[in-house]
Structure formats: C-alpha cells, structure tokens
Structure 1
Amino acid sequence: MAQDASTATEAAAPVSGDEIVVTAQRREQNLRDVPISISAFSAKALEKANVSEAKDYLAFAPNVSFTEDGETGNRSINISIRGVSNIDLGEASTQQSIGYYLDELSVGSTANGTYNPPLLDVERVEVLRGPQGTYFGRNASGGALNITTKKPGPDFYAEGGAEYASFDTYKAYGIVNVPLAQGLYFRGLASWDKSNGLIRNINPKGTPNSGYEYLHFRGAVRAQPIDNVTIDLSAAYSDEDEGFDATVPSGVLDLDTKSIFGPDFVALPDGVGFYPANQRRVNHNAPEYNRNKFLLINNRISVDFDGFALRSVTGYIDSKNGRLFDQDNISADAINRINRNRGRSFSQELRLQSTGKQKLDWVVGALYAKDRIRQFNSIQAGADTSYVDPLTGNVIGLLPPIPQGFRINENNKIFRTESMAAFADVTLNLDRLHLTVGGRYTRDKISNSAFGVYAFESPVPDIAGSKSFTDFSPRAVLRYEFSDNDNVYASVSKGYKAGGVDINSGITSPFRPEELWNYEVGIKGSALDNSLQYSLSAFYLKWSDLQVQTNFLRDPNDISSAVELTLNAAKASNKGFEMELQGRLSRELRAMVAFGYLDSKFDSFPLAVLAGGNSVNLTGLRLPKTPRFTVTTALDYERQMTDDLSLYGRAELNFRSAAAGDLEGVASEQLNLPRFPYNPSAYAVVNLRLGVTTDRFEIGGYIENLTKTDYYTGTQDNFGLGGIRLRPHPRVFGVTGKVKFGS
C-alpha cells in the first residue's frame, strides 16, 4: 500500500526480510518498486558506517563523486552525480544542479553554497540519480539528496553519545523524545564538535590551525489535533566557527596566478614545502577564519481524506558566511580576501495526492520560492609589496607600491531568484504493468545586481540585470513486474537549470538555461527470500547549453580587470551504468557491492575560455569530476554473544578512478600543464569499524584510511603563490560510545 512520506514512521525499517522503503516519489514505497536509480541508507546502516556528513554516504553511491574545495570550511563540498555538477568557481551565485532536501524542504540555496549538517538522528538518506524534476524540481537536473530525520513519537526516548578521534577531535550529542500531551510530541537534538584540525600554521602571526568548533541544535514538534491531521514543525540552528582552510600548497601555480604574476613566476615553498611531502603545515600570516550560521524552519501539514490527502510544506532558511582568507597563501602580508555573505530563502509547496492502493496513483502540486543571496567580496593589499626568500635572501616583487588596505577589487552583489512551478504525476497500475507520465512547468526570474564596486580604488558604476526563463520538463516511465519480487523499467526525463545574468565591470552578460535529457533502463528485485537485493541501470544523458564558469583578466596588465563569466557549452553527453547488490551471506555476515561506469564528453565546446584568458577547444574531452569507475564494497559482521550483548564489525573499500578536477585539468594537455595536481589520481580507501552493543550501551572504534593512502578529491579555487591548494586525507583513529534510555 502506498502511503505519504510525511506519515511514515519507520520508512527505512525492514518491511519483509531486508526490504527497504523509500519516499523518492513523495509516498512510501518499496525500494525495488521505484523506477529510479537510488542508493538508500537506513538509520542502522548510517550508524554502522559512522556516517557524520554528506561525503561519508556519497562515497557509497555509484557514479557519485565530490570535491572538498574547503572554501567555506571543513564541510564545504561540491557534488557530482552522473557527471552533473556545478562547474563553477564558488564565487558567483548560480542555480544548483543537485537538489538537496531535508524533510521535503529544499536547502540548496545558502550563503556558503552547501548546507551540510551533522547527520544525527536521521531515519533515512536517499541518493537519487538522474533528473528529478517532477518531485524535486528546484534545480535537481542531475539528481537529488533526500534526507529524512526521525520524528517525534508517543514514547519516551533519550540517547547520549561521545567520540574522540585523531587531531584532538571531540564530539558529544544528546537526543530526547518526550510526549507532551495526547497527540503532542517533542523531539530534540544538540551536538558539539571541536577539533584542532588537520593542518597547523608555523607562522605565529596567523591563525594556529584549521580547527573548528560546531554547535548544532534541532527541535521538532508533532501535533495530531484530530485523527486525519498531522502537523510537523521543526527548527534547526547551526553555528560553525573554523580556522583556515584544511589545505596545503601543491607547488604548481594555476593559470589565474600565472596570468597576474607572469609565466616565469614559480611557487614559493615558504619553509613548509609542497604536497605530498608536506601534508600538515602552512605558513600564513593572516588571522584567517571561516564562520557559518544556519537557521532552518520547516512546517509540514498533512490532512488525510478518503482516498486522497493534502500536503503543505512551508520553509524558511537564513544563512550567513564570513571569511577572512590569506589570498597570497604565503607568509608575506601581500593580499587578503574578506567575504561576508547572507542568504535568505522562503518556499511554499502544496500537493494533493492519492493515498492507499488504487488503480490510478496521482499527484498534483504547486511551488512558490524566493531566494536572496547578498555577497560582499573585498580583495585588499597587505603591508608587504615584496617577499624575501628566507634561504637566499632574494627579494621578489609582488605588488606595485600601494598602501596597506588598498582595494584591488571590492564589490557587493545581490542574487535573487523567484520561482513558480506546477507539477503533476500519474501512474496507471494495470496488474503487473505500470505506466507513469508527469511533468513540471517552471517559471524563474533571475536578478543580479552589483554596487559599491571598486577596481584598484576606482569606483565602478552600479549595475543590475534580470531575465526570466520558462521550462516544461516531462517524465515518462514504463515498469513491468515479471515476478512478485522483480521488475524492469524504462524511463525518459528532462532536467532543467535556469540561466542568468553575469555582471562584471559595468557590463551585463546573460547566459542560457542548461537542459538535459536522461534515457534510462533498469532492473530491480530481490531473491533468496529477500536476503539478496539487486539493481542494475543503464543510462544516456544529453546536454544542451551546459553551464560552466570561468575567470580571466580583460586587460592582462591590470589585475583589477578580473571578470567572472558563465559560458554555455553547446553540447555534452554521458553514458554509463550502475549496479548495486546487498545480500546476507549468513546469519551473521552481510555484504554490499556498488559499481558505476561513466563515459562523459563535451560533444561541442570549441571556444572555452579558461582562467587566465586561455581559449581552448574542449570538444571530445571528458567533463571534469567524472571518474570513469566508482566501486564500493562493504562487509558487515554482527554476532549475538549473549541475550543482551552483540559484537559487530565492518570493513569498507571505496574506489574512485582518476578524473580532472576542473576545466584546467580537462585542457591540461592542450595547455601543456602537468598532470599533477590538475588530474587527481585514482584512489582506494579502506575503513574499519568494530564495536559491542547492548540494549542500552554501545562502545566502538574505527580507523579511516587504514593504508594511509595519499589522495585528494579535486581542485577548486586555486589562486595563490604556494600553488594549487589540496586537502590531504591522513589516517584517522576514533573511539565512540553511547547510552540509550526508553524505546
């Protein structure tokens, strides 16, 4: 029987044997009956894998990769699903390519680009691959992350936990569920994380390390005033206070840096050296910081009638990001960057949908959303216009004779999106044959403005631009059950990402929407009395007007003439397949395997302008952030030692093949650039977990990156005199403990 997502109480729990229920189509369904390529993780699976943030569960999904750019903190991440990602600089606001939903609310529009909260008290995580326009239409052209938290209930429950790990990392949390009255329940969460960070600073003038302190609170109230009405009101607040980025210099200057300081300029080791020999130290003079704050309010109302239901989702997000960055990335006080960003987002979604088991399942709905992101960016000169090499005593000129605080480039920008959408989806159930048709009509108005702009202390006139876009994204699916436990499907769907307006140096430059079509066939099912679940899908994606961002100097001799533009690659395509197997090998041993293959290329992109103003032909080359192979395997062992005591162990292997980190990496051969670091090498990471549990207590330990593999996930914002910045991944040890009360 199909039920609505908002009323599911244990949607990730086994239904029969080891079957898993998901809500990818906004109703409770068995995973094998949903004609979408999905990786689903239950609460128990997340706990066993020690998943604490997005990168942890993304590592288990085939054809999913990510780069840890570090530009707004340790949790900063850029996600790619089937090669669909934001190919951007992280400095200009654009629409997102991956939908990010927390309890049915879109949380993709924030001041720092990505809302990545600690994954505590979570009921289920779903990674949906391919366009999800009908249900997750707000910029879900590549796929969607669908996170569901645990809801308040009528029984008392309390849980507390603590963790200690390498680099003096401490974590503590508490969870409580309390019935307040008949039909009124509360559930609350508080967590605290603190660490000295991966990287330390040898410069006493600068911030001592890349450490952080996080505070996170979440409270939820469920009210059921009458039998057919459920109200879920929740609020979450996060405060992230961090030091400098957890990256070290590579010794290879990027094109942007070379365009300003000249082709003969070489990276400065500055007493710390370069990756991989140096993975723990930097030499920064500035008092750097990253500070993020988030407030989310989500109100969901569910009213059930006979055979249908009305759902309302109202959300508000207020986010802030503050950042002081040592832009020159060395010990000289030459160039500093200050960022202050503020994002506000409001959305209202209404859905009317069928409930229960019917011949015709249907959903109709509408959405209104309004986002506003304000950005302040200031690149200022420091006190030093030159650098003295500590080994040779040579003086290296860095800046012309300008005073400290001189504004090389400063701007204020406001990026607004107003979106209205209507959607519908209908499934005709004919015994074993199911036909689904649906679509979403969207109208987006994108506005961009710049004011308070200074280029080399010269004011630039204020300017603004806006443009509206409309789109209809259809979806059609045919699914056939050839047995009670197995089915095949074929689908076609369209993805859409709005265009926009770039603003640079008093000039507005519109760019076109990004569209893609996804053609997919798949098979899903279970065998051996549901002890084995399998899924296999093959797909072909075809883009038009793929959006990519670039920056360069309009005048190569004037560093204040920097511009950021969004280009449209005329055509691009991806094809590949995904396989996932989960099985119980014995009463005590479970195994999972996930495999993805991806072949991507720019079908037509003859005039790509990269950083530094380099024009190249990318036609026929692979897209960035698209590893050809992704492989994940895991073994879970659990043995009941006594009536109340069990032992568990887990071993994981995550593999990603080599892939260009950005467009410079894609064009590295044409531009005669070194393979390192533009094209991160393949890597395989082994993790181990071990612990004992009782009904009330749990004690465990873990080792991440057991073999001390040297790897980095990609490159991003690369300007700096020490070279492109990379995030190392040392071996990490940790111990955990928790205690539970109630049920």
Structure 2
Amino acid sequence: MEGPLTVLILTVGRSYDRLIHTDNRPSRVTRIAEPSAIRGRKCMKASSIYFSATCAAAAIAIGSSSPLHAQSDAPAQAASDVDAIGEIIVTAQKTEEKLSRAPLAVTALTGDALAKNHITDASSLASSVPSMNFGMYGGTARLAIRGVGFNSINAGAEGRVAYYTDGIYFSRPATALSGFYDVARVEILRGPQGTLYGRNATGGALNVITADPTSDLSGYFTQTIGNYNLFTEEGAVSGPLSDTVSGRLAVKIVNRDGYGKNYGTGNDVDNAATQSVRAKLRFEPSAETTITAAFDYHHENDRNYGGHYGGQAYPAVFPVMLSTLLTRQQLGGPIPPTVRDFDSLIDPSNRRTFYGASLTVEHDLSFATLKSITAYRHSNYTDKYADGTGDATPLTNSEKANQISQELQLSGDSDTFRWVGGVYYFRERINGHVDIPLGVDLLNLLGLGPIPASPNGYVHGYWAGGIGKTETVAGYGQATWKITPELELTGGLRYAWERHKVKDSVQFDFSAMTTPNPLSSALFTPAPRSDSETSFTPKATLSYFFAPDSTFYVTVAKGYKSGGFDLGATQLTPYNPEKLWDYEAGVKTRLFGGRVQANLAAFYYDYSNLQVSVIIGNIVNTKNAAKARSYGFEGEIQAILAPGLRLDLNGSYLNAKFKDFITANTDLVGAPVLNYKGNTLPQSPKWQGQAGFEYTHDLASGSLRLRGDVNYSSRIHFSPFNIRTISQGEFTKFDASIDYIGGSDKWQVGLFVKNITDKTTIASATANSFLASNSLLSYIDPPRTYGVTATVRF
C-alpha cells in the first residue's frame, strides 16, 4: 500500500532544463546562432545556414551522438548563473506562448534536458512525463497517457496518442521507435487534443520539434561509448548557403551488441544497428516569407524487438509450454536461461525503413500568418521471431504504408482575440499482415491431429492481412477572447469526415506447407468493404492569470479515435470511433522570484465506445465493447534550492477503470462471458513519479555537474482482464551522471549509468493463444547501461 508519505517520496522526476527566452523565441539547437529579425509574433526570422560538403564531411568525420545536441541551445549554465527557472516557448496550441501561461497540461523538454537525462527515444522519455507509459508489441510503440493507450495486435492498427514531428502526423506506431536526434524540444500534451490535432489524439499528442538551420556556420559532434559494445555517433552541421538560403544536415548512427543471447544459434538478440539522417533547406525570399524543405531517412537491420518467453500466463491451464517437450527436429526447444535470452533456431529479425519529405511555407500577412505544411511519409518494416523457446510458432509482423497530408493554417493575434484556424487533408494506404505457421508435432501434441507430416515441419497455420485505405478531410478553429488582461475564454471546434476502405483475407489451415508461400487454398477473401464517419470535437477553456506567469484554467474537451476495419479480420461491419470527454482543471505558477515552477492538473474522463480486441472463432476482431471512467491528478515542480542546486519532481495518481466490459476472456478457449466492470485499464499504473537532484559547481576552468534520478511505478497491467501474471509489479530505478563542461562551452565530457541496480522490468506482455500454450510474449526494458559521452561544438 502506498500512503501519502510514500507517494511524496517516490513521485520523482527527471530534470528538464528551462531555458530563458526574453524575446519569446522558441528553443534553437545551435547555441551560437543569433536571430536575424523578429517579425510580429513570430519567433525568429528563418536563419540561414552554410552547408558546404567540406563542413558536412568534417562534422560526420568527427562523429556524433545524442547527449549534447540540444545543449547547443544555450551555454551550460554554471552555478552562479542560475537564479531562476528558465521559460520555454511552446507551440502546443499551434501558436507560440509561454509554457507557464499555456492553459493545458503539457510537458516541454528542451534538447539540453533530453541530453542531460540521456533520453534518446520515446521509451526513455516516458519516465520524465507524468501519467505517461511506454510499451511495445511486435516492433510497434504502445504510447499511453492517463491510461489511454494502444492495445491492438492487428496489422494496420493506430494508436491513441498522436505522434508528430515538425507538425507532421506519423500515422504508423512503429515509427515512434526510431529515436530522437538533433532535437530542439519535445512537447507532450496530456488529455484529448481533438480540436487542433483531430483523429487518434484521444490520449494526447507527442510533438518532436527538430533543430532548424542557423544564420552562422555551426554544428556539434557527440560520441558515446558504452557497455554492450555501444557506439553512438550523432552530429549536425548548419550554416548559410547564400543570403537567402540556409541548410542543416544531421546524422545519427547506433551500433550495439544485444542484451541477450539466442542459445539455439549462438547470436545475440536485442542488438541495434540503425542509421538516421535529416536534411533541411530554408529559403527566405523576403522578410515576410519563409520556405522550409525537409527530408529524413531511417533504417534498421538487426535482431531487435523480439518477443521473449516470459513464463506461463495461465499455469493452471498450461503448467508448461508444450514446445519445450519437443526435440529440435520437432521444432521444440528448452526454456532459455533468462528472460532476456532465446533458445530457437530462428533468430529474431528486424528490418525497417522509414523516410519522408515535407515543404513548409510561412507568410506574414501583417494581420495574420498563413502556414502550409505538405508532407509525404513512407514506412516499411518486417519483424520475425519465435516465442523465445523452440520454433513451432514463429511470428511475422509486416507492414508497408504510404501517406500524404496537407494542412493550411491561418493564425493571428490582436488586443482582443488570439485565434488559429485551418483545413487538413490526409490519405494513407497500408499493406500489412500477420503470419504464424504452426509446427506439425506441436499440433499433434495438443491433440488436434493426426496432422500429416510436412516437408519443413509446418502447416500453413494462421495468416491475416490485406490492404487498407484511409482518407480524411477536416476543418478546425480555435479562438481566445481576452475579456480582461487577467481573464481569457477559449473556444474551439473541429469537424472531420473520414472514409475507410479494406480488402483483406484470412486463413487458418492445417494443410502441409509444400512451398515457401504461406498462403493456401483455404484463404478466405470477402468482397471489399468501405465505410465513412463524421466527428465533432469541441473544446472550451476559461483561464485566469492571477500573476504575470501564473495561470488557473478549467477545460472541457472531446477527443476521438477513428473507427474502421482490422486488416485480416474480414469483418463485414466496421467498428465505430471511440469518444472521450475530458473535464479538467489546472494551475501553473512561478514562486520566489521564479526559483520555483509548479504545474498541477486534475482531470475526470468519461470514455465510451472503447475499441477492444475480441476473438471470434480463431480471428482477432476489434469491437466497441466497453465503457470506462478515469480520474487523477498530476504535478511537475522544478526548484532552485540553492546556488547550483536544482530539484525536479513529477508524479501522478491515476484511477482508470472499466465501467462496463462484457466479454469472455479472449486468451482462453471456452471462457465464460463475464462483466469485467471495475478492472483497471491497461498501461494505467496507479502511482508513478520521478525525482532528480542536480548540482553544478564552478571550477577554475569550466564547471562540474552531478545528477541523480529515481523513477517509481506501481503495478502496470497489460491485459484488460487484469491477470497478475500479465503485468509488471511495482519497481524503482536509479540513474546517475557526471559531466565536465569546458570553460569555453565548446566541449564536454561525461559519464552516465542508467538502471543502476540492473532491475529487470517488462515494457509490455501479452498471452499467446492455446496453440502456444498460453505462454507469455514479453518485451523487456534495457538492463543496466553505462558509458562515456564526449561532445565538441563549433
């Protein structure tokens, strides 16, 4: 039981440095860049960049890594320089505003904060954000905020937390695993964002804002070397190409040995081999117009993201995994020594390529700013792995998707009103499938035979997939009436139309595989289906500024998750959109001359038409089969306790329960239909939090910075049926780092260690079907990692 004192001690948070921006400009990655002009309320005239091949080659040759890329945002602050919490300018509401005055629950971390805490991806980010949880399944990210997450296992499924990079929606959940590099800041919006962000932002939104080109020649290079033979290089070079054109090139390369071993092949598993590159060109034909073109590419080829054998989900039904009773020739194998290991003749395989291009045009109309964002995204990945032991039920997840989007925004500000409106178009085509051939000897052992022998030992088994198409058009607007200097009323509305088309197939076939083709004559392909839907997502907020940088607000907002079809479910009727109403109040205040910043929020959710996975026959379907309610509170506090000494706290309490959920336990064959009312929603720990202490000491030359963090979470359920074996118990983890910053701020070197006590925790888990003995398919968080990081800047 966690009492108030325990919670106070354990609600702990990583630090995220608040940079001071006296001219209301947003964070920039390159420290030595200076603004060339300020236009109206715009943050900064687009800087120019020098980008010669010589400089690019030099920066990449030096090598690079993530830890300090955003510290170039501002000089590392010595103890004597820090007398107040810095302010961050955010664009969470598609207009610039101070974080302390933004009337919504949003966490903003600058690139410097990401670097100091060694946050390199969404997985390591989650522990720094109240009410946020990160999970994974089959190479796809499962982001959850306030218990609103992602639990589908079908190809083509979409999450409930919208993921954006530079204002562009990334529809595929797998892309959220590609990591951060050359980032100016990350904004995490908690609560439904249906008005400004639209579809699939029921839980919130994660905005990644990457570094822009700079007006001066500048750059950085970071090298990280760690245990498990980790070598990470990250760097960027930036500068002017002409008086009106600038550019920026950023690169990140990660190579690491695996956290575990496959005893069947002798190879390591959960290793990493990734390459990422991003290029930006900015053209400023006039003082009123800025045109930014961007291209990014990400590639992985390793043995990562495999599901591990985590034991038996229902030991009373299957005390052991039956494949362990089979020989290698029968596609069986022993249980591996630890949960991090495999014992299979099939190595996990991860192959993925993501890339995209965008064109952003901004034009100052004097009375308003017009902005156009045009984007194309491509994603292609295939992950294959056994269940951690043996080879009788190998699983392949594959998905290829292309999307285009176009958004037009018009925003303005006057003495009486601040407003933003726009139209949005999105189109996507997905080709995905799930493939699970089944071992002949395993089926006979289960009593499903006699199954005739097969040349490769497999029958065709389960295959589900197809082609899905989504098209949506939306219009939105949000306006703030400045009733008095202290009182503001905001109202917003979004109307969207969406159409879904699907052509899919499914098979469950015990005929022998005589060719490599997983499809058989038993493949069932119904006629193509389509459906359309409309949605209204309003929002109303009343804000009271009781001090220059202190805000109290109350909000009512609606969010929705799109309906549609599951690829491979061959369902004749679509599932409907989810709906969530949020009733929320919050306060943000700066105290003691800005030495303390506190952000607090409390909320109540009314959640209807929940999309849950049910098994009909042998096919996984999504149905609107549940209602839920959630309430909780969360807080973030940063404080300067003494010269050079900083405290960072964040924590949350969440009570997320089903109000109505009538179904059978889909993990078990023949389970009775029950009402699971009162069960906790997946990915909804009751308590979680972090605390971090940071001390910076001035030396004769440079400064020394020491930091320690602790992270706590109560039990996390991964199944809506709240089976204790399919959960992660409460845990506490510790991190530490020490950095020396050179006197000129041109270089830095540091040591870090994460998960000091080497705690083994599960990021997510699911129960396999009876064909795999209801074994647990588990995805494991990283073990203890440590290393050294060095950065140079120019």
TM-score by shorter chain over 0.5: yes
* Structure 2 partner of 1:44: 112
* Structure 2 partner of 1:149: 210
2:602 is paired with a residue whose SS is strand
Out of 340, 344, 354, the position equivalent to 2:412 is 354
* Structure 2 partner of 1:391: none
CA distance in 1, matches of 2:569, 2:692: 52
Aligned length: 699
* Structure 1 partner of 2:713: 656
Q: Is the deviation greater in 395-404 or in 518-527?
A: 395-404
CA distance in 1, matches of 2:639, 2:453: 66
* Structure 1 partner of 2:741: 693
Measure how far apart 1:365 and its partner are: 0.4
* Structure 1 partner of 2:124: 56
Measure how far apart 1:4 and its partner are: 4.7
**TM-score where L is the length of structure 1:** 0.88
Q: Which has the higher contact order (CA 8 A, sep 6+)?
A: 2
Amino acid at match of 2:630: N
* Structure 2 partner of 1:132: 193
For residues 481 and 684 of structure 1, do their structure 2 counterparts lie closer, same or farther at Cα, with a shift above 3 Å needed?
Answer: same
Deviation per residue, 1:589-636 (Å, 9 max, x gap)? 111111101111111112355233533321122111100011111112
Is the aligned partner of 1:635 residue 2:693? yes
Measure how far apart 1:717 and its partner are: 6.4
Out of 376, 383, 389, the position equivalent to 1:330 is 389
Alignment of 1:71-90 (within 5 A): 71-72=138-139, 76-89=140-153
Is the aligned partner of 1:413 residue 2:461? no
Alignment of 1:482-493 (within 5 A): 482-493=546-557
Measure how far apart 1:412 and its partner are: 3.7
CA distance in 1, matches of 2:717, 2:641: 38
CA distance in 1, matches of 2:683, 2:104: 22
Out of 269, 272, 281, the position equivalent to 2:341 is 281
CA distance in 2, matches of 1:56, 1:251: 26
Conservation of the 8 A alpha-carbon contact between 2:465 and 2:568? no
* Structure 1 partner of 2:64: none
* Structure 1 partner of 2:234: 173
CA distance in 2, matches of 1:197, 1:231: 42
* Structure 2 partner of 1:530: 594
Measure how far apart 1:17 and its partner are: 5.3
Measure how far apart 1:21 and its partner are: 1.4
Conservation of the 8 A alpha-carbon contact between 1:330 and 1:721? no
* Structure 2 partner of 1:450: 504
* Structure 2 partner of 1:716: 766
Measure how far apart 1:138 and its partner are: 3.0
Conservation of the 8 A alpha-carbon contact between 1:463 and 1:506? no
Measure how far apart 1:338 and its partner are: 3.4
* Structure 1 partner of 2:167: 104
1:96 is paired with a residue whose SS is coil
Alignment of 1:106-505 (within 5 A): 106-107=169-170, 109-110=171-172, 113-204=174-265, 208-253=268-313, 268=324, 273=335, 278-327=338-387, 329-331=388-390, 333-355=391-413, 358-381=415-438, 385=441, 400-403=451-454, 404=456, 406-429=459-482, 430-451=484-505, 455-456=509-510, 457=520, 458-502=522-566
Measure how far apart 1:531 and its partner are: 1.6
CA distance in 2, matches of 1:656, 1:594: 12
Out of 686, 702, 715, the position equivalent to 2:752 is 702
Conservation of the 8 A alpha-carbon contact between 2:269 and 2:348? no
Q: Is the deviation greater in 262-271 or in 244-253?
A: 262-271
Q: Is the deviation greater in 461-470 or in 629-638?
A: 461-470
Identity percentage of aligned residues: 27
CA distance in 1, matches of 2:396, 2:131: 36
2:114 is paired with a residue whose SS is helix
1:714 is paired with a residue whose SS is strand
CA distance in 1, matches of 2:177, 2:347: 25
CA distance in 1, matches of 2:212, 2:654: 37
CA distance in 2, matches of 1:725, 1:506: 25
- Give unpaired runs (5+ residues) of structure 1: 389-394, 555-561, 669-674
CA distance in 1, matches of 2:286, 2:174: 40
Measure how far apart 1:265 and its partner are: 6.0
* Structure 1 partner of 2:608: 544
Measure how far apart 1:219 and its partner are: 0.5
Measure how far apart 1:86 and its partner are: 1.6
For residues 337 and 283 of structure 1, do their structure 2 counterparts lie closer, same or farther at Cα, with a shift above 3 Å needed?
Answer: same
Conservation of the 8 A alpha-carbon contact between 1:463 and 1:503? no
Is the aligned partner of 1:20 residue 2:74? no
Amino acid at match of 2:477: A
Measure how far apart 1:172 and its partner are: 1.1
**TM-score where L is the length of structure 2:** 0.83
* Structure 2 partner of 1:32: 100
Conservation of the 8 A alpha-carbon contact between 1:100 and 1:144? yes
For residues 26 and 662 of structure 1, do their structure 2 counterparts lie closer, same or farther at Cα, with a shift above 3 Å needed?
Answer: same
For residues 84 and 12 of structure 1, do their structure 2 counterparts lie closer, same or farther at Cα, with a shift above 3 Å needed?
Answer: farther
Amino acid at match of 1:343: A
For residues 700 and 43 of structure 1, do their structure 2 counterparts lie closer, same or farther at Cα, with a shift above 3 Å needed?
Answer: same
1:567 is paired with a residue whose SS is strand
CA distance in 2, matches of 1:3, 1:52: 32
CA distance in 2, matches of 1:103, 1:82: 24
Conservation of the 8 A alpha-carbon contact between 2:291 and 2:359? yes
